[in-house]
Structure 1
Amino acid sequence: MAHAALLLKLARIYEHTAPGHLGQASRVANYKSGTVVIHADNGAVAVKLRQMAPTLAREFSNRGVECSGVQVKVQALEISDHSKAPVQRLLPARAGRELAELAHEMRPSPLREAIETLLARSAKAE
């Protein structure tokens, strides 16, 4: 079986075996010498997966993949969206006027402050 096809098969098995929250925060990264390598997004996920390693290895073996063990490494995904400047959304003029009137009529409160902050940060559509 070609390496890419084997990795795809391992990923499918892992997807059905790992608990949802752990599966979403990790992925099959490699397979070498009978060991499945899994990358976890953070240390907490890695710890849980290391505890599950014998169960995962057994499941891979039961589904036809020669697996002598599972190795878990922390390998956080690089997320480039965090470095992008936030997009300023347009606030329709009518909504802006109505929110301004509402805030003006309110007593000082956290809600009033939130509305005023929203108005200050939003671009007005004319």
Structure 2
Amino acid sequence: MLSKFGKFTRKLRIERNELLSHMAEKLKVSSSFLSAVENGKKSVPNKWPDSIKDIYELSSKESLELDKAYLDSINSISLNMENKNEEDKEIILSFARKFDSLDNKSKEELKNIFEIVGGYDEL
């Protein structure tokens, strides 16, 4: 079953009259790997959204659509905590552990806080 990312890349190829093998070549992977990513059998490599934006010179609208598809297709996100102190690491991990138990009101309050400090970009 095609992932949202897969649907986006397939649509992009069709609009540009391009074969899967051509896109795979541009992304420097095999056709079978690209196909597996599109079908949700492999994870989307982190660098692909930026690579696709650059290679295909996507418009702002297309870039946003790609970002949404990418975020919908990933199951996990890694955070670089290399330069974080122990207290910051503890806060970040605590937030991540408790996120699923937050109710909608709490999530909305957090969203408002992030908007105030300029750290929330709705995709």
TM bucket (normalised to shorter chain) is under 0.3
Greater per-residue helix proportion: 2
Q: Which has the higher strand share?
A: 1
Q: TM-score, normalised by structure 2?
A: 0.26
Q: Which has the higher contact order (CA 8 A, sep 6+)?
A: 2
